[in-house]
Amino acid sequence: MSDLATRIRDFIRTSVIPLDDEFDGDIEAAGGDSLRQKLQEQARAAGVFAAHAPVDCGGLGLNMVDRTPVFEEAGYSLFGPLATGVAAPDEGNIHLLDQVGTERQREKYLRPLARGAVRSAFAMTEPAPGAGSDPSALLTRATKVDGGWVVNGRKWFITGADGASFFITMARTSGEPGSVGGATMFLMPAETPGLEVVRHVGTVDRSMIGGHCEVAYTDAFVPDAEVLGGVDEGFRYAQVRLGPARMTHVMRWTGAARRAHEVAVRHVAGREAFGARLGDLGMVQQMIADNEIDLAATRALLGVACQELDAGERAGKSTSIAKTFAAEALHRVVDRATQMCGGLGISTELPVAKIAREIRPFRIYDGPSEVHRWSLAKRAIRQIEKEQA
């Protein structure tokens, strides 16, 4: 383990987990933004804050491979990614702004975000029949006017929207819903007239600060200088963000699943039933072994995808494989941990139940498993057709 990962591990265990456990992983009950600011100040003092951020913004500029153990240790606590500045959606937005933003945009948006001075949101998902698993269904539209664009539309399930300082908003600037291209990203401060956080969408998870919200755009004006990347190239730039963001999700959730597994192993190593330790029973040993296999396989597939991303490849196939496998494998790990802990596994006496609650949505966000499988199958068929041509 790297020195940085070791220091993050120690910081998480001493400064973050006690609060996480006290409030059952509910970030708002624990203090919301005031807690975020407190924990992030402690992380900065410990030298473990936002290590992935660009060097010119105060980070260490870690590549994807080097992020892996660091983000896993941060994810060991549900509050850990937020405390250390590597939580979604800010982490993905930092990466996107670093890769695509102009120098003025870096100064206005990236630097404050990398310091933890503000939070952000990434607004793409829409109510049906708009963009969801199929981003080409994008309905929110930006119309060109003198000096900028006027945005109209509706988004929902926008993570962190309540309290975000700015939004990276995806809107259609050409074509019709179903068109492959025609989307543009816009940087929109939260105080933009016509941009409104309408409500929180109730979800099972409670560890994401700012919730998952519905956001309305009504004749919201965006200056030309706030276009992120090129006009009509938003879908292409989205891939700059989404592939790495899927892998950093895997890193963080691997940490959470590992904690559930370790708690369960400690439980069965000490609990006796039917004249023996639970850990000596064959059925329990199989669950332990299967968890070890799923964790190891997740890290292996993650490593392949991260190496490709660091090499500058799009890594669409490898990130889809790693994300789909991890979302399901880590869910299995936590589910087995729940079973091994019996009644305690569904109680607030242990952290396993809250991890199970928080990890279930991972099979849906960042692309449902079914969509990734569909994409992987299409790739395989195209490759065969190409070879046979």
The per-residue pLDDT for range 248-280, each reduced to its tens digit, is 999 999 999 999 999 999 999 999 988 899 999
Do 75 and 35 meet the contact criterion of CB atoms below 8 Å apart? no
pLDDT band at 176 (very low <50, low <70, confident <90, very high): very high
Q: Is residue 106 part of a domain?
A: no
- pLDDT tens for residues 273-287? 888 999 999 999 999
Supply 7's token pair.
């220091």
Query: How many DSSP H helices and E strands does the chain contain?
Result: 14, 10
Give the range of the structural domain holding residue 81, as residue numbers without chain letter.
3-87
- pLDDT tens for residues 94-132? 999 999 999 999 999 999 999 999 999 999 999 999 999
CA separation for the pair 257, 388 (Å, rounded):
43
CA separation for the pair 319, 376 (Å, rounded):
10
CA separation for the pair 152, 141 (Å, rounded):
6
Element holding 213 (H helix, E strand):
strand 212-223
CATH assignment of the domain containing 57 = 1.10.540.10
CA separation for the pair 336, 347 (Å, rounded):
15
Q: Are 64 and 140 contained in the same domain?
A: no
Do 65 and 310 meet the contact criterion of CB atoms below 8 Å apart? yes
Q: Is residue 99 part of a domain?
A: no
Residues of the chain by 3-state class (helix, strand, coil), percent to 5: 55, 15, 30
The CA-CA-CA angle for residues 149, 124, 381, to 5°, reads 120
Q: Domains in the chain: how many in total? A: 3
pLDDT band at 179 (very low <50, low <70, confident <90, very high): confident
Q: Is residue 95 part of a domain?
A: no
- pLDDT tens for residues 354-366? 999 999 999 999 9
CA quadruple 135, 94, 163, 358: dihedral, nearest 10: 70
- pTM for this entry: 0.97
Do 33 and 209 meet the contact criterion of CB atoms below 8 Å apart? yes
DSSP 47-60: T-S-TTS-GGGTS-
Q: Are 378 and 248 contained in the same domain?
A: yes
Supply 359's token pair.
């990890």
pLDDT band at 241 (very low <50, low <70, confident <90, very high): very high
User: Which comes out higher in pLDDT, residue 353 or 179?
Assistant: 353
Question: Does the pLDDT of residue 219 top 80, yes or no?
Answer: yes
Closest CA to 352 of 246, 249, 268: 268
Supply 146's token pair.
């003198």
CA 123 to chain centre: 14
What's the pLDDT at 212?
98
Q: Are 74 and 178 contained in the same domain?
A: no
Q: State which of 202, 232, 262 marks the end of a domain.
A: 232
Q: Is residue 383 part of a domain?
A: yes
Do 196 and 215 meet the contact criterion of CB atoms below 8 Å apart? yes
Q: Are 144 and 224 contained in the same domain?
A: yes
What's the pLDDT at 106?
98
Q: Which of 1-5, 49-53, 218-222, 224-228 has the lowest mean pLDDT?
A: 1-5
Q: Are 218 and 313 contained in the same domain?
A: no
What's the pLDDT at 233?
96
Question: The dihedral of CA 112, 115, 118, 121: what is its sign?
Answer: positive
Q: State which of 87, 107, 139 marks the end of a domain.
A: 87
Question: Does the pLDDT of residue 24 top 80, yes or no?
Answer: yes
Q: Are 69 and 126 contained in the same domain?
A: no
Q: Are 243 and 384 contained in the same domain?
A: yes
CATH assignment of the domain containing 148 = 2.40.110.10
pLDDT band at 180 (very low <50, low <70, confident <90, very high): confident
Closest CA to 259 of 7, 12, 6: 12
- Counting every residue written for the chain, the total comes to 389
Residue whose tokens read 């870096």: 106
Q: Are 216 and 243 contained in the same domain?
A: no
Q: State which of 72, 87, 102 marks the end of a domain.
A: 87
Query: What type of residue is 236?
Result: R
Tell me which DSSP letter residue 301 carries.
Answer: H
Mean pLDDT of the chain: 97
CA separation for the pair 234, 361 (Å, rounded):
25
CATH assignment of the domain containing 246 = 1.20.140.10
Q: Are 264 and 365 contained in the same domain?
A: yes
Q: Is residue 370 part of a domain?
A: yes
Q: Are 244 and 382 contained in the same domain?
A: yes
Q: Are 12 and 138 contained in the same domain?
A: no
Q: How much is the average pLDDT of 334-343?
A: 98
Regarding beta strands 166-172 and 148-159, do their DSSP bridges make them parallel or antiparallel, or are they unpaired?
unpaired
Q: Are 209 and 251 contained in the same domain?
A: no
Element holding 169 (H helix, E strand):
strand 166-172
Regarding beta strands 195-200 and 212-223, do their DSSP bridges make them parallel or antiparallel, or are they unpaired?
antiparallel
Regarding beta strands 227-228 and 272-273, do their DSSP bridges make them parallel or antiparallel, or are they unpaired?
unpaired
Element holding 210 (H helix, E strand):
none
Question: Does the pLDDT of residue 1 top 80, yes or no?
Answer: no
